[in-house]
Amino acid sequence: MLPARLWSTLLVSVVAALTTSALPAEKRGVLYPEEAVAIELLIRQAGNQTAATSSRLTTTVASSSSTNSGSGTSTRSASSTSTNSNSSTSTKSTSSTSSPNPSSSGVLRTSAQASGGGLPAPPSGSRLTQHTINGKPGTTATVPIFANKNYIGSGSNGASSAWIGLHGRLKNGNQLFSDLYNVVGDQGVAVVPNFYGPSDVQTVQNAQNQGKPNPIWLQPDRNVIWNDDWRYGADAVAGGTSRPLNGESVSSLEILDSLIKNLSNKSRYPNMARITVVGHSAGAALVDIYSHFGPNAPSGIKIRYVEANTPTSYMVDSRRPVGPIDLAKCPNYNNWPYGPGGAKPRYINNAMSSWSFQRTCSRDVVRLSGTKDTYQADSGGDQSCMSWAQGGPDRTNRGQAAWVIDNLRANTKRTDLRYYASYQNITTYQGGVPVQEVPTFRKTFALVYGVAHVAGQMFASDYGRQALLKTTPISYTQTEPAPY
Ligand SMILES: *[C@@H]1O[C@H](CO)[C@@H](O)[C@H](O)[C@H]1NC(C)=O
Ligand SMILES: *[C@@H]1O[C@H](CO)[C@@H](O)[C@H](O)[C@H]1NC(C)=O
Ligand SMILES: *[C@@H]1O[C@H](CO)[C@@H](O)[C@H](O)[C@H]1NC(C)=O
Ligand SMILES: *[C@@H]1O[C@H](CO)[C@@H](O)[C@H](O)[C@H]1NC(C)=O
Ligand SMILES: *[C@@H]1O[C@H](CO)[C@@H](O)[C@H](O)[C@H]1NC(C)=O
């Protein structure tokens, strides 16, 4: 018998795949939450009233178009439903990516205290820790993180390395912790924050309604929640029901800033020298964005950015492979988070002026792409035309195309570029994209042969281990056409 959690994960994947592929590409685009403030208010009011009346309250949350690229939303909505075997109509109503109209919103049931006791055991090797957000004194809301034994408030003399791991769209930080811990163990500090959202509040509420233990590590009374655009650096939509944001804006990228600040505090970690920010899938997309827009490393600390199987990349200009998508029919293809156009999250707007192609190329970025990370093997995630414009339906090809495009722009003249998917289609002149040579190009890319969209296998592969453990630069040269 599979444990219930696995069943629900399976169900989630299936529902996510179905929901996503049923949507026209335009409907799966990125939109930003105008309802964010309203959601926070509703949740706070819900907390207020629940506290006052000790009765549960139903609040309406326009979760639909406030969240972005389809599958993430539907995934979590589906997840809430799958955990309570309630009718699929509630899936539909919450998973309102399918609804073009924000006012035809789903229903979020919430209460001030949805955690009580009974959180699941954290993954082996970890403790569940509540992270207060440095630099956001207005809120006492916290982010749940899984941390190994070396992450202690007082710090650690021994640790010289740290890893910050980022989960994908299933928001299963517990699994990501296990995948990371499997490779790095207790050699340093390993922390994995979990970004939860309104649909997870509902998951907790559903369990509570049924007298079941909390199936996830979200405690809605204290934790910050984001819409699915956490993966692109957007701000949280609410604090905890009893620990509101109090006007603080909290970008998912500020959680990374805050953890790095914590780990690079020499009075806590006097020997800390290297911090690796590593993500898989949607988590890798966030790492990619962080490699462009995150601040420079604190003094005395080296940061490496590891992106495994990112669904999309931030493309610094409008160059795309010719073929997969008619760009004229995909007007948002170069808009955030696919490119610099359009409306961007607060964090990105503030960071844009420090961005430069030169800076981004000088960073220690390791991109890994599983050769079997194809649409056929896993059709979940972002399948918008903006995503496909980056190299077609297969994530591995999009990853390869992004690598080729970076190299062509920087004019690195690598001779192995011709072996990567879409190379011929990218070299076709398109839109007057400039060449911009840079003094230092430290980005690396490696194909991980035979691996699909599986974080654990990516991290445990030869190049995954190198990316996580090797302290000197990683080099990789493709010597044959990429397998497909
Ligand atoms: C919560 O309740 C307090 C006291 O009744 C009230 O002053 C406050 O405005 C309420 N907050 C919200 C968000 O409803
Ligand atoms: C199913 O969901 C509805 C609406 O959220 C709720 O009223 C009902 O109690 C739920 N049933 C079960 C068995 O959880
Ligand atoms: C991280 O920073 C917070 C806030 O300053 C602090 O309370 C906490 O102890 C720190 N944790 C670690 C492991 O340094
Ligand atoms: C570093 O940690 C110490 C000890 O916990 C604390 O007093 C100090 O404020 C921290 N420094 C920064 C820059 O956060
Ligand atoms: C490359 O472009 C041609 C048309 O110019 C198209 O037929 C082909 O499918 C494209 N290949 C890829 C891998 O996108």
403-434 pLDDT tens trace: 999 998 999 999 999 999 888 888 754 545 67
Per-residue pLDDT at 25 exceeds 90: no
Q: Which ligand is nearest to the CA of 245?
A: 1
CA 199 – ligand 4 centroid, Å: 35
| Residues 461-468, mean pLDDT to the nearest whole number | 98
Q: Which atom of ligand 5 is nearest to the CA of 397?
A: 13
* CA 478 – ligand 5 centroid, Å: 21
End-to-end CA distance of the chain: 35
pLDDT of residue 134: 87
Question: Is the minimum distance from the CB of 464 to ligand 5 under 6 angstroms?
Answer: no
Minimum mean pLDDT range among 66-75, 352-361, 426-435? 66-75
Residue 352 has pLDDT above 60, yes or no: yes
pLDDT tens-digit map of 230-267: 999 999 999 999 999 999 999 999 999 999 999 999 99
Q: What is the structure's pLDDT at 38? A: 34
Mean pLDDT throughout 83-112?
Answer: 28
pLDDT band, very low/low/confident/very high, at 37 (cuts 50, 70, 90): very low
Measured by CA distance, the residue closest to atom 14 of ligand 4 is 265
Is residue 267 within 6 Å of ligand 4 at its C-beta? yes
- Number of domains present in the structure of the chain: 1
Report the separation in Å between the CA atom of 368 and the middle of ligand 4, taken as the mean of its atom positions.
35
**What integer is the mean pLDDT of 331-353?**
97
More confident site: 12 or 437: 437
Q: Is residue 117 part of a domain?
A: no
179: in domain: yes
Mean pLDDT of 291-314: 98
Confidence of residue 91 (pLDDT cuts 50, 70, 90): very low
Query: CB neighbours (10 Å) of residue 449?
Result: 13
Instruction: Report pLDDT for 227.
Output: 97
% pLDDT > 70, the chain: 75
Q: Name the residue with the closest Cα to ligand 4, atom 10.
A: 265
Q: Which atom of ligand 3 is nearest to the CA of 269?
A: 14
Decide if 406 is inside a domain: yes
**pLDDT for 117:** 54
Residue 359 maps to which CATH number?
3.40.50.1820
What is the Å distance from ligand 3's center to 153 Cα? 5
- The alpha carbon of 481 and the centre of ligand 4 are apart by a number of angstroms equal to 51
pLDDT of residue 232: 97
Cα separation, 478 vs 447, whole angstroms: 8
Q: Closest residue (by CA) to atom 1 of ligand 3?
A: 262
pLDDT of 280 higher than 80: yes
CA of 187 to the centre of ligand 4 (A): 23
Non-local (6+) Cβ contacts of 127 within 8 A are: 146, 147, 148, 149, 151
pLDDT score of 312 more than 60:
yes
Mean pLDDT over 25-40 rounds to 32
Taking the model in full, what pTM does it have? 0.75
Indicate if the pLDDT at residue 278 is higher than 50: yes
Q: For 137, phi and psi rounded to 5 degrees?
A: -65, -15
Residue 380 lies in a domain: yes
- At residue 41 the predicted structure's pLDDT band, cuts being 50, 70 and 90, is very low
Q: Is 72 within the bounds of a domain?
A: no
Burial class (CB in 10 A: 0-12, 13-18, 19+), 402: buried
pLDDT band at 109 (very low <50, low <70, confident <90, very high): very low
Residue range(s) defining the domain that contains residue 410: 127-195+250-469
Of the ranges 9-13, 56-60, 65-69, which is most confident? 9-13
* Residue from 43, 48, 110, 242 whose mutation best tests the ligand 1 pocket (most atoms within 8 A of CB): 48
Q: If you measure from the C-alpha of residue 155 to the centroid of ligand 3, how many angstroms do you get, rounded to a whole number?
A: 8
Q: By C-alpha distance, which of 258, 250, 199, 191 is closest to 81?
A: 199
- Most informative mutation of 63, 89, 208, 209 for ligand 2 (most atoms within 8 A of CB): 209
Per-residue pLDDT, averaged over 214-238, amounts to 97
Helix pair angle (252-263, 282-293), 10° resolution: 70
Which has the minimum average pLDDT: 4-13, 229-238, 383-392? 4-13
CB of 111 closer than 8 Å to CB of 51: no
Q: What confidence tens digit (pLDDT) does each residue in 113-160 have?
A: 333 458 999 999 999 999 999 889 999 999 999 999 999 877 777 899
Residue nearest to ligand 5 atom 14, measured at CA? 323
CA distances from 102 to 60, 95, 138, 260, 455 (A): 11, 11, 30, 36, 34
Name every protein residue with a CB atom under 6 angstroms from any ligand 2 atom.
84, 86, 90, 107, 109, 206, 209-210
Q: Residue 225 is encoded by which pair of tokens?
A: 């929640």
Q: Which of 157-161, 195-199, 242-246, 304-308 has the lowest mean pLDDT?
A: 157-161
In a domain, 330, yes or no: yes
Judged by average pLDDT, the poorest of 304-318, 364-378, 419-433 is 419-433
Rounded distance from Cα 86 to ligand 2 centre (Å): 6
Atom of ligand 3 lying closest to residue 259 CA: 1
| pLDDT value at 399 more than 90 | yes
Quick check: is 108 in a domain?
no
Q: What's the mean pLDDT when you consider all of the chain?
A: 79
Ligand 4 mean position, distance from CA 264 (Å): 10
**Residue 118 amino acid letter:** G
Specify which residues 196 forms β-bridges with. Answer: 225
269 C-alpha to center of ligand 3: Å? 11
Nearest CA residue ID for atom 13, ligand 2: 86
Q: Is the CB of 430 under 6 A from ligand 1?
A: no
Establish if 49 belongs to a structural domain: no
Residue 323: pLDDT band by 50, 70, 90 thresholds? confident
